[in-house]
Structure formats: C-alpha cells, structure tokens
Amino acid sequence: MKKLSINAAICDARRVQEETLDNFEAIDINGALIITSPSARAMMARHNVRINCSKSIDLDDETTLNTINGKTTFTGRNTPNGRQYLLINGTMTITPDAGDALRQYMGMTINGTVYCPDFLATVLASKAAINGKLYTYPEGAVILKNNAVLDKSFALRAEPRLYWAAKRLIAVDSELDGDELASKGVRFMVPEAYVSETLAESLAPLFDADTRMVILPDGTSVVQDDLTLNAAGLRRYGDSLVVLGDLYLTADCAEALGDLEYLQVEGDVYLPEAMADTLDAIPETVLDGEVFYLPGKPLFDKIKMTVDKNLLDAFPEGLTLVACPKVTLTGDLTPADVLEHLSLFNCGAIFCKSELQSAVEAVANGSFQVLPIDEEEDDEEGSDPNTMSINAAMYTL
C-alpha cells in the first residue's frame, strides 16, 4: 500500500473521506496552514496521518476561505458574502470605516505587517491572528511610508492634517521650508525624525512630544537600506552620511572615508582589517551597531558563490564572504581549509558536506544556516515509488 505526501501552503481537510484515508498506509501533510473540523480531526486520528503545519484552524463546511496575497487595503466595502475566513499574506492597511466589515468575518490569519486605526485595534484582535508587526495609527491621520521623506514636493501638496509614519521621518532637503508647513497647519506623529540642522528649529514644534529628534549636519545624505560602497560611490554622498541599514566598505574606501565629517550607521559596519584605523579618523561618528573587521579578501553581495580549493589557494591571506545569500563549499575542502582561510558574515544558506559543518559554524557570523550539500538540489518528484507526492499552493484532501 502506498504512502501519500502532501506539500501545500494550505491544505483543506474538512471534507476528507474515510475511503481516501483507507487507501494509504500513511499520510504526511506539510505546509503553512491546515483547515480541519472536529469530525475531520477525529477521522484522521483513527488513521496514520502526520500533520506538520505551522497553523491549524477549524472551520465549518459553510465557511469559505478567501486568500489575498500581497499588499491590500481593507475598507468598509470589504464586507464578506456569507460566512468567510480571510487569509492575508502581505501588508494590510485597515481604514477607519472598516469596523463593521471586520466584525462580519468568521476570522482572519494575517502573515505580514498590519496598519490599523487605534480605535479598531480591539476589534481586529478579536478576529485576527497576526504573524507580523501591528502598528496602530490615530483616527484621521494621513499614513506615510515607514521611512517617510519630507521634501519640497511634499510641502506643495501638504494639507492641515496630522501625518503619521510607523518608523521615522527624514527631512534633509535644503529646499524644504519648515515655516511654510507650520503655516499650513501640518502636524506629525512619528517615533523619530532625522532633521537637518537648518530645518530643526522650524520643524520641531510640528512633531509630537514623544518624537525623538536626530539633528544632522546640513547636506547629509540619508540611505534607507543596507549600503555597499567603493571609493567612487562613497564620494558621491558628500561629507556627511547616514545609513539606516548595514554599511559594507570595500578595500579602496580608506581615502574617501578620510573626507567624511559625519557618519551615522544604524546597523553594523563591515570593513577590511587593513582599514581598522579609518573610522577613528572621521571627526564625528554615531555607530549604533557593531563594527566587524574582515580578514583577507572581502567579497560582498554575491548572490550565488561556490568556494573550492582553487579559489582559497588564490587568496593565501584568506577569503571573507559578506551578505552572500547562497554559498556552496565543494567536496575538495577540508575542515582545516575552512578554519584557516575562510570567514563568512550574514551568508543566509551555506551548503557543505557533513564533515565541514562544525568548521563552517566556527567561522560563520551573523545570520546563516548550514545545510547538507545534497539539499542544494530538489529531489526528483516520485523518486520513491512507494510514495505518492502532491505539491500545490492549495490542496483539498
């Protein structure tokens, strides 16, 4: 008798039949969500059914599951047609008129960030399981991007409203007129604001009392994500730079760093060991994360990287891989090769043979996962003749 292996993001097992379960020696259900009912669970318990799912919910047969993938805005017009359970994979913004619509759903699972009016937070909590971050905003506020930039074009369209951002506002545009915003009745509610020195005095009264203000030198460039820089790129940002992610510096940046007057990095800083003294030469630095000095030859942001004996031999001083999502170590390497000549920083998936695992774990830092090299390629479907495999986004058992 065959086995059944179901690999699906969502498996609906509410209407499973006894005859179906009798056809298989064992059934494995792997996925993110399984939908069951009390009768279905009792039926599966009488058979060899193994469930490996992140979440399980019970729904009756009359309830329809609706799935939304991606960014969505939930308004008062999103009333369900009959009994519905809503599954959202992505960012969800709830508008102030959505209260009645929320209450009519049987329930929700939200995998992602949610923006909700503060007065509807209790309604949402009674209906939804949220796997992500929940932000509540004040009623009547205009929602800006998480990292909102105030510039001249914003000022031209600004209204006498309260503007809200989940993380921060950035106001470093030399053409922005803070007094003009004040005269229009603009107000801001945000956890923190990065403001240039010239604009600080006029903008400060417009922020909520709890806002943390960071005053930056005039002319500061603000980068909202991770940044990998060579010397030419660094010079393009001028003499003041703020990086809201991690900063990766190549070996030719030493001279360009000497031209900086101000450097602020919210994440971590990665730079070659030979540049150990260059950060100290910058007159003013604000480093919220850690500083990592990279041994040997650093390579950054290689999407797919294979490391073999010949590559390590080409860099006798050592090789360092930084922020490479997929790294494969070939079978000709020994643990001594890895320990003596390789360093890994924030390399998400590192594939290697089992003999190298402990050595890799010793030289890897930050975010990483060590995986057997035979998992690098997917198994052929149906490779086990005694197992029937089903792979689907959604499957009804």
Q: Are 16 and 39 found together in one domain?
A: yes
351 plus 368 within the same structural domain: yes
Distance CA 198, CA 58 (A): 58
Residue 380 domain-assigned? no
| Interior angle at CA 148, CA 142 and CA 154, nearest 5 | 70
**Do 302 and 369 share a structural domain?**
yes
CB–CB of 34/395 below 8 Å? no
* Residues 286 and 320 both lie in one domain: no
Last residue of a domain, one of 294, 319, 335: 294
| Same-domain status, 235 and 201 | no
Q: Are residues 105 and 86 in the same domain?
A: yes
Determine, yes or no, domain membership for 34. yes
127 and 175, same domain (yes or no): no
- State which residues form the domain around 146: 142-216
Give exposure, 298-307, as e/b (b: 16+ Cβ within 10 Å). bbbeeeebeb
Task: List strands edge to edge, sheet with 284-287.
Answer: 221-223, 240-243, 262-265, 284-287
Domain assignment of residue 395, yes or no: no
Residues 6+ apart with CB under 8 A from 125: none
Structural domain contains residue 381: no
Same domain, 109 and 42: no
CB 37 within 8 A of CB 61: yes
Quick one: tokens of 277? Answer: 């003294």
Q: Which of 240, 273, 294 is the last residue of a domain?
A: 294
Tokens of 122: 């209790």
As a whole number of angstroms, the distance between CA 123 and CA 98 comes to: 10
pLDDT value for 383: 57
What is the total count of domains within the chain? 5
Q: Is residue 392 part of a domain?
A: no
Residues 230 and 212 in one domain: no
**Closest among 214, 165, 153, 163 to 185, alpha carbons compared:** 163
Residue 187 within a domain: yes
pLDDT at 382: 43
**Which domain-ending residue is among 239, 261, 294?**
294
DSSP string, 53-87: EEEEEE--TTPEEEEEES-EEE-TT---SSSEEEE
Query: What pLDDT does residue 281 have?
Result: 83
- Centre a 10 Å sphere on the Cβ of residue 193 and count the other Cβ atoms it contains: 25
Do the beta carbons of residue 69 and residue 90 sit within 8 Å?
yes
Indicate if the alpha-carbon torsion angle 45, 50, 56, 58 is positive or negative.
negative
- Given its phi and psi angles, is residue 294 left (phi above 0), alpha (psi -120 to 50 degrees) or beta? beta
| Structural domain includes residue 86 | yes
Q: Encode the chain (397 residues) as per-residue pLDDT tens digits.
A: 688 888 888 888 888 888 888 888 888 888 888 889 888 888 888 888 888 888 888 888 888 888 888 899 999 999 988 899 998 888 999 999 999 999 999 989 898 899 999 999 999 999 998 888 999 999 889 999 988 999 888 888 899 999 999 999 999 998 888 899 999 999 999 999 999 999 999 999 999 889 999 999 998 999 988 888 877 888 888 889 999 999 988 888 888 888 888 999 989 999 888 887 888 888 888 898 989 888 888 888 888 999 999 999 999 999 999 989 999 999 999 999 999 999 999 898 999 998 999 999 999 988 888 988 764 444 444 456 788 888 887 888 8
Please provide residue 373's backbone torsions phi and psi, each rounded to the nearest 5 degrees.
Answer: -65, -25
Instruction: List Cβ neighbours of 113 (8 Å cut-off, separation of 6 or more).
Output: 91, 92, 132, 133, 134, 135
Q: Please state, as a whole number, how many other Cβ atoms lie within 10 Å of the Cβ of residue 255.
A: 11
Helix (H, G, I), strand (E, B) or coil at 181: helix
User: Per-residue b/e over 89-98, b at no fewer than 16 CB within 10 Å?
Assistant: bebbbbbbeb
**Residue 186 covered by a domain:** yes
101 and 37 inside one domain: no
Residues 228 and 259 in one domain: yes
